[in-house]
Structure formats: C-alpha cells, structure tokens
C-alpha cells in the first residue's frame, strides 16, 4: 500500500483519490472550501460506474499537516500552479512521483523548473465529472486516465502506479508524454473554448452542422500542429474518434465553461497560448485556434 496525496479535491481529485481510497490505498486529501464538511460528513462520489461514500477521509486544510507521500496527484486548475511552490514541498520525499492531472501543454516543464529533482508524470484524464456541492462529486461518464512519463527514471514504479489505478477500477495506460498531452489537446482546445465563446454545451455544438464542422476543423488544426512537431499516433482517425465519443456523452460543460459560468479565471495560458507559441516557434500556424484564443482573452478580461 502506498501513501497518496491529492492536491485539489474537486471533480477530478475527488474522483480518482476517492477510487484509490475505496480500493484500500492510504489517501490524504487537501481541501479548501469544503474541508469542514468533508471532515465531518465524508466524501460522496455519485458515479455512472457505481456510487460510493467514504465515511472517513484523511482531510487537511494545509499541506504542512500532511505526510510525505509516495505519489501526489495534483488536480489544481493551472491558474493556481504558482501555489505549488508552497503546497508541494511538505509532501515530497526523494522517491515521490508527482502526477499533474491538469489541462494544457507545457505544464510539466514549468513545474519541473520549480522542483528540478522531482519525478514528474503527466496525467491525462478522459472523464466527465463535476463537483456539484460540498463533499459531492458527480461522475457522469468515462473516467480513464493516460499517464505520460516526463521525468521519472524508475519505470517499475510507474507500472506499480498503473496497477493501483487498475485495482481501483480505473482504466489506465502508459503512453508517450508528447502523445498523451497532444491527444488530450485534440479534445480540449476545440470544446473548452467553443463552449465558452458560444455559451453552450458539447452536445449542441455537435448537433448544429456549422459548429460541428468548426469543431472538426479546430481538431484538425491540433492534429496537424502535433504532426508538425513529430508527435506520433495523433491523426485524423483520432479526431473522428473524439467526435464520436462526444456524440455519445451526456450534455457536458467542460472545465473552462464551468470556470466561465462561476466567474473564475480561465486556463487560457496552458490550454491555448503555450501550445500555440510552441507550434508557432516551430513554423506552424493555427489561425482558427489563434482566433479562438483571442476571443477567450477578450471574454476573460471582462469577467
């Protein structure tokens, strides 16, 4: 049994941390607004794969009170990553693996600069989940996670991490780091931004022929950007798979749409600006994605 730490017990951290805790792993949760509620009432996960309740939760209001962990799942919004300089150190031992279950491209490089000697892994969650009220996570569909190794030198420990996810009932796989991040971007960059720009949900974007075509065009810009960078296994068939998957989803508001709805800062930097800067420096332009980024910056400035 390992010690897991969860920084950011929201829709993602509450789900994956909850599943790990339910399977018997020792999981320590950092909470903010609902700390008192979870400490007293526990954590409820309403899930399409079977709901469950954790009666006793190792809940903390500060990482200074948390133990050093074997694995830390960082599930904060990237707009709060500046807090990691203070949040992470109490949890880190020389062997700790930090899994960044966050949106965007370029996140690992920046966190590695903060913690040069720490093993970092990208966590790419394919899940529809939301925290609807204190101490309650609503898992609507999907739930798999891909892990992309950024700087962990011990492959055996990564496979042990995969085993823990599998034993917790979570579909998990190891994929190459760049492939993992860009595959997630194929879905994230079109749907997060478009649901905000048009103030809608995923299902309506695909039901309208004009916006369905625009979503596909945006996906293909991401695919061609990844191919220009030499990323493998990101192609047109994957984009079609993402569209088909979204057709089957329940109507969904992605994380950026929820941030917009609740007047929170949006994750524009790592979801749009950073990847567009990377591909632009490599000699590739993505005009529709650049336009979407500009629209989101306009919207964000008015929030």
5 class by beta-carbon count within 10 Å (0-12 exposed, 13-18 middle, 19+ buried): buried
Where residue 245 sits, what CATH number does that domain have?
Answer: 1.10.1040.10
Please give the pLDDT value at position 303: 67
Residues 158 and 41 in one domain: yes
Contact 257, 196 (CB under 8 A): yes
User: 184 an active-site residue?
Assistant: yes
18 and 71 assigned to the same domain: yes
Cβ–Cβ < 8 Å for 3, 29: no
**Domain identity same for 62 and 164:** yes
> Which residues constitute the domain of residue 221?
179-302
Same domain, 192 and 266: yes
- 170 burial (CB, 10 Å; 0-12 / 13-18 / 19+) is buried
User: Chain-wide mean pLDDT for the chain?
Assistant: 96
Q: Is residue 133's pLDDT more than 70?
A: yes
67, 113: one domain:
yes
Average the pLDDT over 122-126 and give the result. 94
Same domain, 26 and 163: yes
Q: What is the number of structural domains in the chain?
A: 2
CATH value at residue 140: 3.40.50.720
Q: Is the pLDDT of residue 201 over 70?
A: yes
Query: CB-based burial of residue 202 (10 Å sphere; 0-12 exposed, 13-18 middle, 19+ buried)?
Result: buried
Is residue 135 located within the same domain as residue 14? yes
Using CB atoms within 10 A of its CB, is residue 230 exposed (0-12), middle (13-18) or buried (19+)? exposed
Angle, CA 77 vertex, CA 62 and CA 138 arms, to 5°: 90
Residues 11 and 81 in one domain: yes
Distance separating alpha carbons of residues 240 and 237, to the nearest angstrom: 5
Catalytic-role residue among 77, 184, 241, 288:
184
Chosen domain end from 175, 195, 228: 175
| Mean pLDDT across 227-248 | 96
Flag whether pLDDT at 2 surpasses 70. Answer: yes
Q: Is the pLDDT of residue 95 over 80?
A: yes
Q: What pLDDT is recorded for position 92? A: 98
pLDDT at 151: 98
CA-CA distance, 28 to 125, in Å (whole number)? 20
Are both 238 and 142 inside the same structural domain? no
Residue that wins the pLDDT comparison between 302 and 263:
263
Domain boundary among 141, 175, 209: 175
Q: Kindly tell me if the per-residue pLDDT of 250 is higher than 90.
A: no
Determine the average pLDDT of the residues in 117-141: 93
Mean pLDDT, residues 137-143 taken together = 91
* Pair type for strands 3-7 and 26-30: parallel
| H-helix or E-strand spanning residue 268 | helix 268-268
* Residues 198 and 286 grouped into a single domain: yes
Domain shared by 197 and 149, yes or no: no
Question: pLDDT tens digit string along 16-67?
Answer: 999 999 999 999 999 998 999 999 999 999 999 999 999 999 999 999 999 9
Question: CB under 8 Å to 282, separation ≥6 — which residues?
Answer: 228, 229
Looking at the structure, do residues 19 and 115 belong to the same domain, yes or no? yes
Question: Which among 150, 175, 200 is the end of a domain?
Answer: 175
């Amino acid at each position: 049994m390992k010690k897991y730490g969860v920084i950011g017990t929201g829709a993602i951290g509450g789900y994956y941390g909850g599943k790990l805790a339910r399977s018997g792993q020792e999981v320590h949760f950092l909470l903010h607004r609902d700390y008192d509620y979870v400490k007293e009432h526990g954590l409820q996960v309403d899930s399409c794969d079977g709901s469950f309740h954790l009666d006793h939760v190792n809940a903390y209001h500060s990482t200074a009170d948390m133990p050093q962990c074997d694995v830390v799942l960082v599930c904060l919004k990237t707009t709060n990553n500046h807090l990691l300089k203070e949040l992470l150190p109490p949890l880190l031992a020389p062997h700790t693996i930090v899994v960044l279950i966050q949106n965007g491209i370029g996140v690992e490089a920046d966190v590695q600069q903060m913690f040069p000697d720490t093993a970092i892994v990208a966590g790419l969650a394919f899940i529809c989940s939301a925290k609807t009220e204190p101490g309650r996570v609503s898992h609507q569909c999907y739930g798999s996670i891909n892990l992309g190794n950024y700087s962990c030198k011990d492959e055996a420990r990564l496979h042990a991490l995969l085993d823990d996810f599998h034993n917790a009932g979570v579909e998990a796989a190891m994929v190459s780091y760049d492939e993992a991040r860009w595959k997630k971007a194929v879905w994230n960059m079109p749907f997060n931004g478009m649901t905000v720009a048009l103030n809608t949900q995923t299902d309506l974007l695909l039901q309208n022929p004009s916006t369905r075509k625009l979503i596909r065009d945006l996906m293909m810009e991401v695919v061609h950007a990844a191919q220009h960078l030499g990323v493998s296994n990101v192609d047109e068939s994957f984009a079609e798979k993402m569209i088909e998957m979204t057709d089957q989803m329940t109507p969904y508001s992605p994380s950026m749409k929820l941030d917009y709805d609740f007047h929170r800062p949006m994750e524009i930097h790592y979801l749009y600006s950073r990847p567009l800067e990377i591909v632009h420096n490599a000699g590739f332009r993505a005009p529709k994605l650049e336009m979407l980024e500009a629209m989101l910056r306009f919207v964000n400035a008015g929030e």
